A and B are shown apart, each in its own frame.
Chain A
C-alpha cells in the first residue's frame, strides 16, 4: 500500500494537434508529479493503422516525439512521470523511438511501460465468428455489415493497466486506445493504493480526468461566460489536478500563467460531451456528475469533492472506423453589394451544371460563412452584408462524381455572378470519408497487456 497523501497531475495535451508548447510549460513552470497527454480522437486510429501498414515502425502519434525530447530531462531529473495514449496502434514502436531520443540525449537509465491488447483489428474475424457482433450503438447494425471496409477497431481500456505499469516502475507509460479519464485516474490508483471497489474515489479520479482531458478548455479556453475577462490567454496555464488520497481534488494551474480556473470554467468543462450525468460510464466505475460539489478555494483554485460512483458495467467500449465513400469541400468569397444573393446564385448555377452532367450525390450541402454556417436556420437574415463565403460540400460513393464537383467550383469565378475571390487554394479534391462505429464488447473477450522495458 502506498503512503502518498497528495499528488499533482498536469494535463499537457487535450487532443492530437493541441498547443505544442503546453507539455513543456507544464513540466517547467512549477512542480508536478505526472504529465498526462491525450492524443487520440475517435478516428485517429484509422490514420495510424494505415501508417503502420505502410511502415511497421509507424502507427503512433509522431508529434509526441519532439514533446518527449523536451520533457525527458524532467522525467530523469525531477521524477516527473509521463502517461499518454500517444502509443496509438504501435506503442512498442513509440517506445523504441523514445529510447532512441533518450540515448541521443545521453540518458543512461529510463524505464518505459506499454499497455496494449486494445487493438482488435487483427483478430476481428475471430471475434465476429465467436459471437461478438459489435453492434453499432447508434444504429444497431452488426459490424459484419462493414467488415470489408473496416480500417481500425480498438477497445477502450481504463486506468488499472496503466497503474500496473506505474507499479512496475515505469517512468513513461505509453498506451494504445485508453480512456482519456483513465490517464488521470491511474496515478491516483498507484500512489493512493485505491482498490477496484473504491467506487467513490475512482469516480472522483474520473471526474478529475474529465476536467483535465481537454487541456485548456477547463482553464479559460473556449470559456463562454465573461470570456473577455479571461487574462492572458496567450500564456494559458493548462489544468493541474492536485489529488488527495481521500478523493478530494483541487483543480489549479501554475503560478504566473494566463487563463482562469473558476467554478464557472470547471462547470462548462464538466458539461462538455456528457450524456446522462448520473451515468458516466468508464471501465472502472460509473460516475455520478449530479453528486459533484464545486467550491472556489482561492485564486485559480477550485475544490471538487463529494463525488459518488457505482460499480462498472461488464463491457468495454469499442471504437471502430470504416471507409464510407468520398467527400469534397470548396469555398468562394463574394463581395458587396448583394454578396449573399450572388453566393446563392452561384450555388444554384453549380448544382444545375452538375445535374445536367448527370452527377448525383448522397448529400449536397451549402452554407454561407458570415451568415448561417454556425446556427443554420436560426440565423436572422442580415439587412446588408459586406462579404460572404460560399461553402459547398458533397458526399457520395462515386469518386468521379465527387471529383467532378471540384472541377465545377473554380470556373464559377469567370462564368458566374461578379466580384468573387478566395479561390487561391484551387480545386477541392475528393477525400475519403472515415465513419465512426461505436460498439461494446464483453470484458472477458479482451485482456490488456502491460510490459515494462529498460533502456538498453
Chain B
C-alpha cells in the first residue's frame, strides 16, 4: 500500500450552512470515485479535522457527479456572521480536506 494525498485524486469546493461547513469532493477521474467512496468515510474526515470540527460529520454520495458531499457540524467557530475566524465561511475547507492522506494499493496508477 502507498499513501497518497487527496489532492492527487479529487478537486473540491466548500461553503457554509450556519456553523456547519459543506465540502463537496469530486473525483478527478471517474475511476477514482470508488476509491474516494471506500476510503474517505465520515469517520476518517472527522479524524482529519480534529481540532477544527467539533460536531459530527455527515457524508452523502452523488455517484452521478462522481462526488461526495460532507457536512462538518460545528466547524466554523460559530458560523458565518459570528465567527471570529479569518475564514469564517469555510471557503478554504475544501483544500483542507485535500490535505488528507489515504492508503491505496501500490499498483494503483495515478
On A, residues with C-beta under 8 Å from B are 42-43, 137-138, 222, 224-225, 264, 267-278, 289-294, 321, 324, 327, 329, 363, 365, 367, 369, 373-378, 391, 393-395, 433-436, 438
Complex CA gap A395/B91 in Å reads 22
Complex CA gap A290/B68 in Å reads 11
Interfacial chain B residues near A43, Cβ < 8 Å:
81
Q: In the complex, are the beta carbons of A268 and B99 less than 8 A apart? A: no
On B, residues with C-beta under 8 Å from A are 11-19, 22, 24, 26, 28, 48-52, 58, 60-65, 67, 69, 71, 77-82, 84-87, 91-92, 94-96, 99
Given that A267-B67, A275-B22 are known contacts, is A367 also in contact with B86, CB under 8 Å in the complex?
Answer: yes
Closest to A435 in B: B82
List 10 A–B pairs whose Cβ atoms lie within 8 Å, in order of A's numbering.
Answer: A138-B18, A225-B28, A267-B67, A272-B15, A272-B22, A273-B16, A292-B64, A292-B65, A378-B48, A435-B79
Q: In the complex, are the beta carbons of B24 and A42 less than 8 A apart? A: no
Interfacial chain A residues near B84, Cβ < 8 Å:
327, 329, 363, 365, 393-395
Given that A292-B65, A376-B51, A433-B82 are known contacts, is A275 also in contact with B17, CB under 8 Å in the complex?
Answer: yes
Interfacial chain A residues near B61, Cβ < 8 Å:
290
* Residue in contact with A436 in the complex, picked from B63, B67, B81, B86, CB distance below 8 Å: B81
Q: In the complex, are the beta carbons of B96 and A138 less than 8 A apart? A: no
* Residue in contact with B81 in the complex, picked from A138, A274, A377, A435, CB distance below 8 Å: A435
Complex CA gap A13/B84 in Å reads 27
A354 to chain B, nearest CB (A): 15
Given that A377-B52, A436-B79 are known contacts, is A267 also in contact with B26, CB under 8 Å in the complex?
Answer: yes
- Interface SS, A side: mixed
Interfacial chain B residues near A225, Cβ < 8 Å:
11, 26, 28
Q: In the complex, are the beta carbons of A369 and B86 less than 8 A apart? A: yes
Q: In the complex, are the beta carbons of B19 and A138 less than 8 A apart? A: yes
Interfacial chain B residues near A273, Cβ < 8 Å:
15-17, 22
A409 to chain B, nearest CB (A): 14
Q: In the complex, are the beta carbons of A376 and B16 less than 8 A apart? A: no
Q: In the complex, are the beta carbons of A378 and B82 less than 8 A apart? A: no
17 additional A-B pairs beyond A373-B87, A394-B84, beta carbons within 8 Å, are A42-B81, A138-B18, A267-B65, A267-B67, A271-B69, A272-B13, A273-B17, A277-B62, A327-B82, A329-B84, A367-B86, A369-B86, A375-B92, A376-B96, A377-B50, A378-B49, A435-B82
